[in-house]
């Protein structure tokens, strides 16, 4: 079970840099822009340029960028619009979207279980006899997956709640908040340097979820979570 950490900004590809150059190169000469991207502080300021956000939205076919770059730019923008300016938090949420947009990522493989855990009630039950690290990973996964589903597929959740008496968005928010809070207080959260991020995700879950709802409304076709979220990337761009 891997622990998600805010790694998007240190994993950009040559295609990502080329995209930045194509969009922002006209504002500056090419070599100096590339040099600025090597410095973490100036890189972050460059990535905040609204022109990158709009360029990603306008060029939705065959984007030659990595999913990490794509999600970081979009997530950072919508969180800033919501008054959430924490870059590591935006980086973590972007990494979360990049991870959970992959087929099957919502299933949790836990030690001692014959098959992957697909439903929240199975994950919660697995906490009863889980060791320390497994329990931490399960809680982090529940928080992550709750945010992913309620952030990207709110209409799907509303539809199921209305038609099948399934849990509503308040259930996902409560589940996410509680598990991020417990995971954030775990010693392993400090080891992986995600304690402050988990606490922010817990305390601001609703606002972050609403920001992702806005993002989903702009770029995704909401509905079945089994529909791939990245139909517009050039194969092999990662």
Summarize pLDDT for 15-73 with one digit per residue, the tens: 999 899 889 876 655 557 777 788 888 899 999 999 999 999 887 567 889 999 999 99
| DSSP H or E stretch at residue 81 | helix 67-81
Whole-structure pTM value: 0.87
Let me know if residue 231 belongs to a domain.
no
Residue 94 lies in a domain: yes
Strand, coil or helix: 63: strand
Could you tell me if residue 232 is inside a domain? no
For residue 147, give Cα distances in angstroms to 94, 142, 154, 223. Answer: 12, 9, 10, 16
Name, in order, each residue with C-beta under 8 angstroms of 105's C-beta and a sequence gap of 6 or more: 99
Is 42 part of a structural domain of the chain? yes
In-domain check, residue 230: no
Residue 113 is assigned to a structural domain of this protein: yes
Residue 121 lies in a domain: yes
Range of the domain at 133: 8-219
Q: pLDDT tens digits for 174-209?
A: 999 999 999 999 999 999 999 999 999 999 999 999
Q: What do you get for the CA distance between the two ends of the chain, in Å? A: 22
Determine, yes or no, domain membership for 234: no
d(CA 208, CA 66): 23
CA–CA dist 181, 184 (Å, integer): 5
Count of structural domains within the chain: 1
């Amino acid at each position: 079970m891997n622990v998600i950490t805010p790694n998007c900004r240190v994993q950009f590809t040559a295609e990502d840099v080329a995209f930045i150059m194509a969009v922002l190169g006209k504002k500056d000469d090419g070599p100096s822009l590339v040099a600025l991207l090597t410095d973490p502080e100036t890189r972050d300021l460059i990535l905040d340029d609204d022109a990158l956000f709009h360029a990603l939205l306008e060029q939705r076919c065959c984007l030659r960028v990595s999913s990490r770059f794509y999600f970081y730019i979009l997530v950072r923008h919508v969180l800033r619009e919501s008054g959430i300016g924490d870059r590591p938090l935006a980086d973590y949420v972007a990494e979360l979207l990049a991870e959970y947009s992959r087929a099957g990522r919502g299933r949790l493989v836990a030690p001692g279980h014959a098959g992957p855990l697909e439903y929240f009630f199975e994950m919660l039950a697995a906490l009863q006899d889980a060791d320390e690290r497994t329990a931490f990973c399960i809680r982090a996964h529940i928080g992550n997956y709750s945010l992913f589903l309620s952030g990207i597929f709110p209409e799907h959740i509303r539809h199921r709640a209305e038609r099948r008496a399934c849990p509503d968005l308040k259930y996902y928010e409560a589940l996410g908040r509680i598990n991020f809070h417990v995971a954030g207080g775990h010693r392993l959260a400090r080891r992986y340097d995600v304690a402050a991020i988990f606490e922010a995700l817990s305390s601001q879950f609703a606002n972050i979820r609403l920001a992702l709802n806005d993002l989903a409304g702009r770029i995704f076709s909401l509905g079945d979570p089994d529909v791939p979220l990245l139909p517009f990337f050039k194969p092999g761009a990662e």
